[in-house]
Structure 1
């Protein structure tokens, strides 16, 4: 095995007090926002001060597919070793930020725009942006059930409204429209993979599909928040240049309820506690149906310097794919990683996540996932996944690493191991 390394750089100075970690700093900001919601406090916004960082590091994977939760595509969609630059500039409501990587992998050097945003935000809270950044549409520990932070981001036009106080609560809207890459890799974890590969070889895979969606968040008092969202994949062209048929469109939906539980926090001597319940669906078609559904329940606890997350997510019934006409054979994925939950919708997961302080004022995170799936699932009928993260601030910047290991099991056959990782050392210029 040849370790392949990638560089990283910090995306801005936001979350300096929270020790924004690793190459996945935007994913870490989304995770911190989830903890802040549990605590009943507003997340810190990006700093208005210009910033610029340089750094070096790497990302790689070997063996069976092992998702790096919150990895922003590192280890799978983004691999190699090299250098990177990251900076941010803000002026009069406008902001520009970018993270660019120069990676050396298998004898080739590749430039990657890992994250970028050109945005304008009014004093009243309206925001419009042309950006490439991770999502948190859904509060799952393994990534949002609609859109998460495990895959490399895709470019999109985004709109967010300020909070509007109405008789039925406080409402906010988010919407986006973007396109996925032309030749999407067939994911290793996707069900019926052999059938999909045969259809792809026959030229039935639709390229550069349009992805668009909207999400409405509603707060009721100080304890309750609901979320309703939908994401549609449509359009694109097959290998012969023919337009996608209308029947190829697919829509995912999400209905989520989050509850703050101060009584439980007081009982456990925690600073905050919250529970999450959601139901998501990805029917065969573009209708806003709620079957076949996937249900999720989770509990989040936060102490001073520590946090604990527990979650159970059921498996959605499998939807058959068409191998007779052009379709989106790679499903809701980009660069081989799922756009939503890291282990896919057809897998049942039981997750424990622990955030803890480390020596030398570092910050760490451990995640254990037990996943089970149908007999013919490409990742096996069951698997264990362990992921660890650690990061420290240094006199000149920061350093950290993230490593995921997965053991896949099949009845009557040897287990298969896989791993993915990202490491970095970043230096702040100003």
Structure 2
């Protein structure tokens, strides 16, 4: 229940590899209650696909999730009441009030995870490792044009006030000093658009950009235009039926992408981060392989008003789970478990510059499991990370999320 949004995005990626339309949410009303929570300790260890659990959302307690659909309108929400360090916190983990026409137009006021970019560790523009933020969203139906079938996604939203300076930022100390001097901008506006184009049944491209701008400092001063930042993405996805037949798989696909985060709001393609991946799907099993290079370090001004927390929310990156400045080599395996359960294993080797707070190199392991029960479902995800520094002892960190949900109807 806690990671349903990320699970739906992952299943959509596998469905694309198989060449089939993702199953939409059920039109039947539903309501679940349950208990569970998340925690973390030690060095920063994100939960990939964790929707902020362990870092941005912590504590143990109760949860409720429901959905209602009628005449094109839909409402869904996941709310948590978590107890952590002697305090009880109410968290709206996900919510959406949406209207979708029969022709495919969709408009929504929602708070749900993104998948802008097909990376295994989260999209290079927007991913599912961080807690979602509220936004107004628009999606168009496919339009058949001479150069392919086109569709557009767009959104506009705001991030939280007093954003945490993430532990994984390389120049965190300088940013903390700038915040103490009153140079941090609060509640910035985040908006963007992504155009997806399909050519035949095998090729899909994506071109998108996300801009962070606006906000005010603690004294109410408005943001200067120089504080705005824009990230861009160009992505190519290819279905490979010949490879699938060779490996006796149901589907195979490859992903190539290039993203950039220049020091400004221009739509530039440098300094760049390149990514390449391969996805294979069998009956009940799937395997993903990926290499993502490191982008040159993104900097912000620490002498004037700036968005000091960068592209992050509640301490987690908005895009790839390990940040853009880290090189990652990832293997992900989905497999069936005993008692008709479903599991997922992930191993990541990450390397970064020597002054990276999370270490020059690290090993990351994550395991997930979920089972259907006679009264609902149960599951857990746990991640551990070992950070290495030359000439210094390794540091460990872990994150955990677990839940037991009971179906009411």
Q: TM-score, normalised by structure 2?
A: 1.00
Match of 1:18 in 2: none
Q: Which residue of 2 aligns with 1:20?
A: none
Aligned partner of residue 196 in structure 1, secondary structure: helix
Residue 318 of structure 1 and its aligned partner are, at CA, apart by 1.1
Distance in 1 between residues matched to 2:37 and 2:192, nearest whole Å:
33
CA drift of 1:124 comes to 0.3
Tell me, in whole angstroms, the C-alpha distance in 1 between the residues paired with 2:204 and 2:70. Answer: 33
Displacement of 1:98 after TM fit? 0.3
Q: For each residue in 1:52-99, what CA deviation from the matched residue of structure 2 results, as whole angstroms up to 9, or x when unmatched?
A: 000001200000000000000001100001001110000000000000
- Alpha-carbon deviations, 1:221-242, whole Å to 9, x = none? 0000000000000000112211
C-alpha separation in 2, matches of 1:217 and 1:167: 15
Instruction: Give 1:136-155 correspondences, 5 Å limit.
Output: 136-155=115-134
> In the alignment, which residue of structure 2 is the partner of 1:412?
391
Paired with 1:118 and 1:25, the residues of 2 have a C-alpha distance of: 17
1:373 maps to 352
Spell out the pairing of 1:311-330 with structure 2 (5 A cutoff).
311-330=290-309
Counterpart of 1:229 in structure 2 is 208
1:276-425 alignment to 2 at 5 Å? 276-425=255-404
Alignment match, 1:178:
157
Structure 1-normalised TM-score? 0.95
SS of aligned partner of 1:305: coil
Question: Please, what is the CA RMSD of the aligned residues?
Answer: 0.5
Structure 2 matches for 1:61-140, cutoff 5 A? 61-140=40-119
Deviations 1:262-317 (A, max 9, x none): 00000000000000000000000000000000000000000000000000000001
**Aligned counterpart in structure 2 of residue 266 of structure 1, from 239, 242, 245:** 245
The residue that corresponds to 1:187 in the other structure is 166
Tell me the SS of whatever aligns to 1:364. strand
For 1:314-363, what per-residue CA distance to the aligned partner results, in whole angstroms no more than 9, with x for missing partners? 00011332111010110000000000000000000000000000001100
User: C-alpha distance in 2, partners of 1:386/1:407?
Assistant: 9
Structure 2: runs of 5 or more not aligned = none
Q: Runs of 4 or more off by more than 6 Å in structure 1?
A: none
CA–CA distance in structure 2, aligned partners of residues 386 and 26 of structure 1: 21
Report the 3-state secondary structure (helix = DSSP H, G, I; strand = E; otherwise coil) of the residue aligned with 1:324. coil
Q: Provide the rounded CA distance (Å) in 1 between the counterparts of 2:37 and 2:234.
A: 37
SS of the counterpart of 2:237?
A: strand
Structure 1 residue 191, shift from structure 2 partner: 1.7
What residue in structure 2 maps to residue 14 of structure 1? none
For 2:297 and 2:86, the matched residues in 1 are separated by 40
Out of 60, 63, 71, the position equivalent to 2:39 is: 60
Number of residue pairs matched by the alignment: 409
Residue 250 of structure 1, CA deviation = 0.1
Q: Secondary structure at the match of 2:262?
A: coil
1:199 Cα shift? Answer: 0.6
Shift of 1:220: 0.1
CA–CA distance in structure 2, aligned partners of residues 317 and 76 of structure 1: 25
> What is aligned with 1:427?
406
For residue 58 of structure 1, give the secondary structure of its aligned residue in structure 2. strand
User: 2:156 aligned with 1:156, yes or no?
Assistant: no
SS of the residue aligned with 2:167?
Answer: coil
Q: Name the residue aligned to 1:13.
A: none
Alignment partners' CA distance in 1, 2:136 and 2:178:
31
SS of the residue corresponding to residue 153 of structure 1 reads: coil
User: How far is the alpha carbon of 1:127 from its aligned partner?
Assistant: 0.2
* SS of equivalent to 1:263: helix
